[in-house]
Each structure stands twice: as structure tokens, then as C-alpha cells.
Structure 1
Amino acid sequence: MALTDEQQRIWRSYLAMTSRLQTAMHRQLQRDCGLSLADYDVLVALSEHGPLRVGDLAALLSWEQSRLSHQLRRMRGRGLVLRRESDEDRRSATVELTAAGHTKLAAAAPGHAALVRATVFDGIPVAQLRAFGEVAATVVGRLG
């Protein structure tokens, strides 16, 4: 069944919004602190949840294991995260922030929050924000 004209318009608008917002966030992070958006996502997850098994971090970020492995390798090379092999299970490893990772995140967070506030939240009526939040939560729930 095809989308209605209104659904198509809303869908295309949503795709444009997410693409442009991701581009803007990536550029802001690169410009202000030399991080990619993927770097920032990993740093935030580890900051909020503490050390995590690689598989758990991949699930939390909704990333494929291979994507996360490549990302962590690059971040380890820059001293942002530390990978510890498990003594009990050689197949699992734990990832945690380093002091440098904490420092980078602390430097990046204010500019990132300012961009998100200015582009997503400022000037939007409370009722629209609540509706937007409910729609986002419903879709995320359907996706598991």
C-alpha cells in the first residue's frame, strides 16, 4: 500500500530533517573539538552507562558489531577509550572511557547541546514538542 500524499510529504520532511541535523551535528563537533558524531555517540553512551561489554555497547547504540569494532579501534588509537579483555570469557571485552575521553566529552557537550537546542527545541511550542516526543517514542517502541 502506497503512502498518502500527506504521509509522503511528512516522511520526506523527516528524512531531510534527520539528514541535515546529523550533518550539522557532525560539522559542529569536528569544528569545535575534532570529534565525529560517531565518536560523540560512543563517548556519551560510556559516560552514561560506565564500562560496557562491546556487545552491550553495540546493542545500546543500535550498531552492527563490525561498525563498532572499527569505531573503537579508531578511538583507542586517539586515546579516548580503553578496551579490556575479559579474564572469564575470551570472546568478550569491556570498553571504558579514558581520562582523555572524559575531557573530550566535557569539551564537546556544551556546543552539541547548544546546536540541538537552537535547531530542534527553540521556538517550538510545548504542545508540539510533546507530540514530537510521543511520536518518536512510539516509533522507537515499534522498532524494539
Structure 2
Amino acid sequence: MSDEIWLDETEQQAWRSYLHMQRMLTVRLAARMQDFGLSAADYEILVNLSEAPNGCMSPGELTEETQWEKSRLSHHVSRMERRGLVRREPPRAGRYPDVWLTPAGLDAVRSAAPAHAADVRALVLDVLGPERLARFAEDCRSITAALDENGTPHRP
């Protein structure tokens, strides 16, 4: 046990503050999506598709963007497909059907996006202000780079 590295009090407080903030922000943003009949997961898929060329992505591309497990993505896309937000079509490449944004999906993301942007502005951007926001973005890029360097996490 003496070889284990524990967080000191300052580190522990910072880490727990981050976790608490992340949970609260996730819950608040997800609740807003419900006003538009969407889950946070729906919105994440719709945003990715709306930003993709022709509103289409392969399951592999969506998995990479969302960092979801393949089975989670497949099940969620199936639910969205039943609701008419996306459709699957034969792949451009690969063996799994591509995921396409439907007109209903585009309408949904266009309806929800202004409220989402307003919430992000009020809850994060305006709170930080320009200088702290620049530092926050830099810190996020540094953490992301460290995660990329360390590769894929071990999954049991």
C-alpha cells in the first residue's frame, strides 16, 4: 500500500469539484434536451450527423466521435431510427450500414441547438469569461492530448 500514490487534499478537492460540476452540467443540459423530445445521447448523434458531409457517417466514425461502445451505438441508432430521426442505408465503405440524418432529425437538432447554445453560454462561457475560457480550452486540449498518448483504456 505504501507504493500507491494517493491524491492529497488539494488534488482530491479539485478532482471532486470537477466530477460534481461535470455531473451537474450533464444533468442540466440533458434536462433541456427533454424539452425538445430528445435525450442528450440523441442530441450528440444528431449534432455529429448534422456536421458531417451530406449528413452521413459510418458507424465507425460515429463510434470514434462519441467514444461509445459499438453495441450502445447500434442500439441507440436503432431507437432513433424508429423515431424517424436517422436512417440506415448500405455502406459507402465497410460492411455496416451508414447512418444518415433525416429531415426530422435535422429539424430536431435545429430546434434544440439554440437552447443548448444558450445554456452552454450561461452555464460555462459567461461564468469563465474570455481569459479563463482560453485557459480552460488550453487545459482541455492538454488533458485530451495526454489521453490520446495513453491509448485505449483497458476494458474488462
* TM-score between the two structures when normalised by the length of structure 2: 0.86
Is 1:105 the counterpart of 2:122 in the alignment? Answer: no
Note the 1:67-78 alignment, pairs <5 A: 67-78=72-83
Aligned to 1:40: 43
1:3 matched to which residue of 2?
7
Q: 1:86: how far off?
A: 2.7
- Residue 88 of structure 1 deviates from its aligned partner by 6.4
Structure 1 residues 125-140: aligned runs within 5 Å:
125-140=129-144
| Structure 1 residue corresponding to 2:125, chosen from 93, 117, 121 | 121
- The correspondence of residues 23-38 of structure 1 with structure 2, limited to 5 A, is 23-31=27-35, 33-38=36-41
Distance 1:75 1:2, change over 3 A: same
The alignment-based identity, stated in percent, is 42
Highest RCO, 1 vs 2 (Cα 8 Å, sep ≥ 6): 1
Cα RMSD of the aligned pairs, angstroms, is: 1.3
Distance 1:8 1:126 in 2: 27
1:122 match: secondary structure: helix
Q: 1:22 to 1:87 in 2, by over 3 A?
A: closer
Q: Which runs of at least 4 in structure 1 moved beyond 3 Å after TM superposition?
A: none
Q: Which sections of structure 2, spanning at least 5 residues, go unmatched?
A: 149-156
Residue 88 (structure 2) aligns with: 83
1:87: how far off?
A: 7.3
Q: Deviations over 1:83-142 (max 9, x none)?
A: 1123765x3210010000000000000001111110001142322111111111111112
| TM-score under structure 1 length normalisation | 0.93
Distance in structure 2 (CA, Å) of the matches to 1:88 and 1:75: 22
User: 2:126 and 2:91 mapped to 1: Cα distance?
Assistant: 45
